[in-house]
A and B are shown apart, each in its own frame.
Chain A
Amino acid sequence: QKEVEQNSGPLSVPEGAIASLNCTYSDRGSQSFFWYRQYSGKSPELIMSIYSNGDKEDGRFTAQLNKASQYVSLLIRDSQPSDSATYLCAVNQQVQEKLTFGTGTRLTIIP
């Protein structure tokens, strides 16, 4: 079992709809969870961080964490073509400054 798993996609969503990205992790002691967005040929850019169970909202983005189910998700509301990118889930597994990444989900927003 991979330490951090994501659906590789591609995931296609109509413009204006909600895009839902999911991630599961294996280390139950993980403390910190991050979503990064990566455009083709660019480096990862932090979108959201979440540390406690529940929802965290920032603009059109909502991160959801359920530690009991070892599940973290990212919702993008009112999806825009500029949201088309690969989204990487990253988990800090109690080791200082070491992130374990999923393989990423490629999201395409269809105009």
Chain B
Amino acid sequence: KAGVTQTPRYLIKTRGQQVTLSCSPISGHRSVSWYQQTPGQGLQFLFEYFSETQRNKGNFPGRFSGRQFSNSRSEMNVSTLELGDSALYLCASSTGATGNTIYFGEGSWLTVV
């Protein structure tokens, strides 16, 4: 079955702009979580959605937001982009049960100039 699909794969934005990233989870998975990966900070948890509700949130400013649709697809938005937001943004999906395996998409590479 198809894996986690993320779009776009690569994008370049200007400081101050906003960006929306999209994620389609594995069929049947109801939990979608987002992570940011940078060389300096490693992989950090942004937030997780389950059945259209944000269930968990990491320590990121309010400029980072997300949502989940009824078909489990998810989007994350970053407003007022800063240079430090340049990163690989990873979407992951799972069934939603605690401890279940989490599978990652290929990621969206964001460069802020």
Q: Which residues of A contact B (CB under 8 A)?
A: 31-32, 34, 36, 42-46, 49, 51, 88, 90, 92, 94-104
Chain A contacts for B92, CB-based, 8 A: 99
Check if B107 is an interface residue, CB within 8 A of chain A. yes
| A-facing residues in B7-64 (Cβ within 8 Å) | 31, 33, 35, 42-45, 48, 50, 55-56, 58
A44 x B43 contact (CB < 8 A): yes
A92 x B107 contact (CB < 8 A): no
| A-facing residues in B67-113 (Cβ within 8 Å) | 88, 90, 92, 94, 96-107
A32–B104 CA distance with the chains assembled, in angstroms = 17
How large, as a class, is the contact surface on chain B? Answer: 20 to 34
Q: Which residues of B contact A (CB under 8 A)?
A: 31, 33, 35, 42-45, 48, 50, 55-56, 58, 88, 90, 92, 94, 96-107
B48 x A51 contact (CB < 8 A): no
A44 x B98 contact (CB < 8 A): no
Instruction: List 19 additional A-B contacts (Cβ < 8 Å) besides A43-B107, A96-B48.
Output: A34-B102, A43-B90, A45-B104, A49-B101, A51-B99, A92-B99, A96-B97, A97-B33, A97-B50, A97-B94, A97-B96, A97-B100, A98-B58, A99-B33, A99-B45, A99-B102, A100-B45, A101-B44, A103-B42
